[in-house]
Amino acid sequence: MTKPVSSVSVTAGDESVSLPIIKGTMGPDVIDIHALSSALGLLNYDPGFVGTASCESKITFIDGEKSLLLYRGYPIEELAERATFTEVAYLLLNEELPNVEQYRHFSQLLKKQSLLHEQIRNFFNGFRRDAHPMAILCGTVGALSAFYHEAVDISNEASRMLSAIRLIAKIPTIAAWAYKYTQGETFMYPRSEYSYSENLLYMMFATPMEPYVMNPVVARAIDRILILHADHEQNASTSTVRLAGSTGANPFACISAGIAALWGPAHGGANEAVLKMLDSIGRKENIPAFIEKVKDKNSGIRLMGFGHRVYKNFDPRAKIMQNACHDVLNELGITHEPLLELAMELEKIALEDPYFIERKLYPNVDFYSGIIFRALGIPSSMFTPLFAVARATGWISQWKEMIEGTQRINRPRQLYTGASLRHFTPISTRD
């Protein structure tokens, strides 16, 4: 833990306590509030964790005012433009970018581990054919803990790294098979000549009937999207993984908890929800009426793909995603994409509306990702599973960092507002 740079004094009644202020490398200073409870018997109340730094981390940094996102210090724009997803996965896990030999070795390990135990095939048959692929992903990644339980020793560094590599390598296979299962199609096995993203496409779309023709534009776009989603500091799903992991639970079970948290429409499920929203709006003429509904708090409707807890300016990933969207459509020779035009008009109208301006609501990563996924031929039910494939790298890096640090079990307290102490009465005497 970094040394305190100053302190703040808190007084409650006759008692005072000095709370240390700690400086990170970048970002706001934090107050270490441990002594609030031990010295003053007070708890910190912060529903939704709006002002809580839950841990110390060296992995990802966000400055929401400046639209800055760094993985291990590298700007997301540079990584999305120049790195491969495999390089980024190595960076998140190992703190540094790989050299040529490290990259070759890491890529080989991922390829070797990308196959699933044959018995895992049987799990898929237990799901209904119309199950959402996120349900299958959540269940099957959790089931990896049944295959790698005794084998995982979280106190051993090599075992932790092997678990991380297994997860990153196997999750594309599970996600692709989840899709194939819902389509009633043959599972396709990963091939060693393909890159990480190429394999994802191959396993989702190839069939045993004919050779698969890889489209490099689509594969590069998928790789870039995976990079954009790889990690994002202490978001809801990452915090879930850390919380589950803090109990010492099996890492695959912890990742399954993270997948569940990601699925919600306020988090990773937003990319699928954006497409549903655009489909329901249908035409540009319908946008003003839709915006009015969003602004009416009684409607329960939100502008999906807008707003973020940390970004109070543009989400840098949304900007890259929007540019990538245009590039991909150009490269694929798609000159007219009504959905993109609708989204751009919706964005323009929202950004000029005082409701969104006052609340600092800007497009987030999910606003454009669904459109690009659709242009790439990815079915909408797979948008969130692909987010999970990418984020698995961040989750497991954060899990490793937590286990390798001095983290205690994560155990929040509460503000209790229920009944005071009372005593049981037999049912016959109750009104």
Closer Cβ to ligand CMC, 69 or 206, answer by number: 69
Residues that bind ligand CMC (CB under 6 A): 48, 235, 266-268, 270, 294, 302-309, 359, 361, 364-366
Active site residue 267: no
**Shortest Cβ 264–ligand CMC spacing (Å):** 9
Residues β-bridged to residue 15: 12
Return all residues near 10 (Cβ < 8 A) that are at least 6 apart.
Answer: 16, 17, 19, 36, 40, 42
Closer Cβ to ligand CMC, 201 or 361, answer by number: 361
Give me the catalytic one of 308, 315, 326, 327.
Answer: 308
**Shortest Cβ 302–ligand CMC spacing (Å):** 4
SS3 of residue 6 by DSSP: strand
Active site residue 153: no
Q: Alpha-carbon distance 54 to 49, whole Å?
A: 8
SS3 of residue 305 by DSSP: coil
Closer Cβ to ligand CMC, 194 or 362, answer by number: 362
Give me the catalytic one of 34, 366, 423, 431.
Answer: 366
**Shortest Cβ 72–ligand CMC spacing (Å):** 20
Question: What is the DSSP code string of 209-243?
Answer: TB-----HHHHHHHHHHHHHHS--SS-HHHHHHHH
**Shortest Cβ 290–ligand CMC spacing (Å):** 11
| Cβ-based neighbour number of residue 422 at 10 Å | 6
**Shortest Cβ 3–ligand CMC spacing (Å):** 32
Where does residue 117 fall: left (phi above 0), alpha (psi -120 to 50 degrees), or beta otherwise?
beta
Strand bridging mode 68-71 / 60-63: antiparallel
Q: What are phi and psi of 217, to 5 degrees?
A: -65, -45
Closer Cβ to ligand CMC, 145 or 364, answer by number: 364
**Shortest Cβ 276–ligand CMC spacing (Å):** 12
Closer Cβ to ligand CMC, 180 or 229, answer by number: 229
**Shortest Cβ 110–ligand CMC spacing (Å):** 24
**Shortest Cβ 266–ligand CMC spacing (Å):** 4
Whether the Cβ atoms of residue 184 and residue 127 lie closer than 8 Å to each other: no
Which residue is nearest to ligand CMC, using beta carbons?
Answer: 307
Q: Alpha-carbon distance 1 to 23, whole Å?
A: 10
Whether the Cβ atoms of residue 227 and residue 79 lie closer than 8 Å to each other: yes
Closer Cβ to ligand CMC, 247 or 280, answer by number: 280
Q: Alpha-carbon distance 121 to 101, whole Å?
A: 34
Return all residues near 427 (Cβ < 8 A) that are at least 6 apart.
Answer: none
Closer Cβ to ligand CMC, 98 or 258, answer by number: 258
Q: If 0-12 CB within 10 Å is exposed, 13-18 middle and 19+ buried, where does residue 27 land?
A: middle
Q: Alpha-carbon distance 371 to 274, whole Å?
A: 9
Between helix 383-404 and helix 365-375 the angle, nearest 10°, is 130
Q: Output b/e per residue, 349-364; b: 16+ Cβ within 10 A.
A: bbeebeebeeeebbbb
Closer Cβ to ligand CMC, 152 or 350, answer by number: 350
Q: Alpha-carbon distance 43 to 208, whole Å?
A: 60
Whether the Cβ atoms of residue 237 and residue 395 lie closer than 8 Å to each other: yes
Catalytic sites, residue numbers: 308, 366
